[in-house]
Structure 1
Amino acid sequence: MTIKAIVCDMDGTLLTSDNTIAPKTFSKLIELQNKGIQLILASGRSYIRLLPDALKLRMDKHAGLMIDVNGTSIYHVQTAKRDRIGLLEKPFINELNQFFSLFTVELQYSQDDTIYTYLPDEIYTIKRNIRGEMRLPDDYPWMGGMHGWLCDTRDGYPNQYMVRNLADTPDYCNKISVVQEPAYMAFVRDTLQNHPIYDQYEYVFSDERKMEITNKNITKGKALDLIMEYHHFQNDEVVVFGDSENDVSMFKKKKYSVAMGNALTYARQQANYTTEGNNHEGIYNMLVRLENQGLFG
């Protein structure tokens, strides 16, 4: 069998730490698409945040696909068609709000171009002090990210709102993110795993500070399986690159599952291969290895 599709996670995988695609990786992905290999981007990001890189990679010319928000939809870059797979609706949001209100955590509710950020008093005070020390403008986002208490994602979520009362959270969202310092998030995870609500949703860590929640059976892996079924791809005809827990569902049963050198420990344990990190042309190096084995035809 030859490889017919390349699947790349974004943050920590295809993107370097400065949010660019490494030059050799970029050129190789263009080259392989020109040879007829399908390129699929799979991310916790919304399709709006993925589109700029997809267009740079000329995926609109090669019928590329994007799995966005951890598998809540599949986006066809060439036609701008979006196949919605699953949303979190108000009853589920309320149930999750009730459980996570027991913790001192930030909650983010991601829609396509909008994020609502709920901040309990303790976290609001921390962020208010940080914003003052940094002299940030009033319109700077309040949401946290993988590297700290504040993160500016207005490039993909132009509409951002802070919420101080859980009754004001939205009626639907693609995913809920739970954010705090790594040690506290480990405590949240341990508590969650011993509660009945754990079996009712999908929970994955995109990094040590952020746990992401979607409806049951809504994962990147489920979306990839739908794509593979439609295109009749076999498990040894796809190479999958990832670095986090939300990529592990895509690794399952794939012969060429590849963890980046910078991947979380659990992701490395679940992959069949490892490559160099996202800042060291890891994707390019693995693609060349596979190419030298004659796996791209």
Structure 2
Amino acid sequence: MDLSKIKMVVSDMDGTLLNNQHEVSKEFFHLFENLKKQNIAFVAASGRQYYSMLDKLKPIANDILFIAENGAFVKKQEQVLMTISLDQTYITNVLEVVDKIDNAHAVLCTAQTAYVKKSSGDFIEMLKEYYSEFTLVDSQQEVSDTILKIAIYHHQSSENYLYPELKQFEDVLKVKVSGENWLDISEPNAHKGYALQKVMDKHGINADEIMVFGDFNNDLEMMQLSNYSFAMANAHPNVKRIAKYQTLSNTEHGVEHILSKLLLAKS
């Protein structure tokens, strides 16, 4: 494994860079400063809202690129590089299905906020971990804002309870199980792989010059763009199947473990 050519590092957040308490380690921030000295760019890629990602990575926010909302929103410093929005007809149809699923909660994600039902109960408190900015509404069907993504949460399992009901939209939309409890619906090109390919093209980065870390199905497309894709030890079987390499779990600092090897190779 020759890491000496790496020019860019891309990491998912939940289950990857973040530990199980949703924290970024002090070790990572230290390693980042050394990556910066080696002119290695860093990209955070997440299903999270941009503002939530910003909260987690505030000390280095001006030095990195954010791929948020699973690729529907890309931003560097104050410049929005890309947004991909959902057609209103699809939003209406998806919400009608979600409303019929027990213990399911939809979140309408925009560039500035996220719209959640006032009647969502305990889910609203849990939502604060993933959405720093959100707006409570009586009816999501009446929201007229530009929607980038519909994130849907199920208390037990997104794969078992949400996907079977929502896979009917796969012919026209991207339907992605993005976490144990989350499923995301977006336009077909609104995914991390599409966004990352645009970033790579803009910076002239090849597959052997980029390192990618991930743990769940919404990371698959971006991991396929790299010769140095790393599945976390805690990753979904689909991710382990397509990743070129594997590292330690998110609780064992698997990303930091490989970044240390990268810096050693660069030195």
TM-score by length of 1: 0.79
Give the superposition deviation at 1:183: 4.5
Range moving further from structure 2, 250-259 or 226-235: 250-259
* C-alpha deviation, 1:171, in angstroms: 4.1
**Counterpart amino acid of 1:151?**
L
Question: CA–CA distance in 1 between the matches of 2:166 and 2:13?
Answer: 27
Corresponding residue SS for 2:42: strand
> How far 1:85 sits from its partner (Å)?
2.8
* Equivalent position amino acid for 1:179 in 2: Y
**In the alignment, which residue of structure 2 is the partner of 1:106?**
105
**Pick aligned residue for 1:152 from 104, 108, 128:** 128
Shift of 1:253: 3.5
Matched with 2:83 is 85
In structure 1, give the amino acid aligned to 2:136. Answer: Y
* 1:67 equivalenced with 2:67 (yes/no): yes
Residues 1:143 and 2:142 aligned together: no
- Tell me the equivalent position of 2:230: 258
Alpha-carbon distance in 1 for matches of 2:16, 2:30 = 16
2:39 is paired with a residue whose SS is: coil
Q: Is the 8 A contact 1:116 1:170 kept in 2?
A: no
SS in 1 for 2:66: strand
State TM-score, norm by structure 2: 0.87
Say if 1:264 and 1:162 are closer, same or farther in 2 by CA, change over 3 A: farther
Higher gyration radius (CA): 1
Give me the whole-angstrom Cα distance separating, in 2, the residues matched to 1:86 and 1:289: 36
Aligned residues: CA RMSD: 2.4
Deviations 1:24-49 (A, max 9, x none): 22211210112100111111122222
- From 145, 158, 163, give the equivalent of 1:189: 163
Q: Point out the structure with the larger helix share.
A: 2
**Residue in structure 1 matched with residue 76 of structure 2 by the alignment:** 76
Q: Which residue of 172, 185, 199 maps to 1:213?
A: 185
Corresponding residue to 1:31 among 29, 34, 44? 34
Number of residue pairs the alignment of both structures matches: 263
Is 1:12–1:262's contact at 8 Å kept on the other side of the alignment? Answer: yes
User: Does the Cα contact within 8 Å between 1:203 and 1:214 map onto a contact in 2?
Assistant: yes
Secondary structure of the 1:269 match is helix
Alpha-carbon deviations, 1:165-224, whole Å to 9, x = none?
45334443121012223357514323443x3x2221112222121101111111111010
Aligned equivalents of 2:235, 2:209: Cα separation in 1:
23
- Taking the aligned partners of 1:155 and 1:70, their CA distance within structure 2 comes to 14
Q: Secondary structure at the match of 1:108?
A: strand
Contact 1:47 1:66 in 2 (8 A): yes
Alignment pair present for 1:161 and 2:136: yes
Q: Which amino acid aligns with 2:8?
A: A
Structure 2, unmatched stretches of 5+, are none
Distance across 1 between alignment mates of 2:85 and 2:75: 15
Matched-pair contact (CA < 8 Å) for 2:108–2:140: no
Alpha-carbon shift at residue 110 of structure 1 (Å):
1.5
Q: Which runs of 5+ in 1 are unaligned?
A: 132-141, 145-149
User: 1:15 and 1:89, CA in 2 relative to 1: closer, same or farther beyond 3 A?
Assistant: same
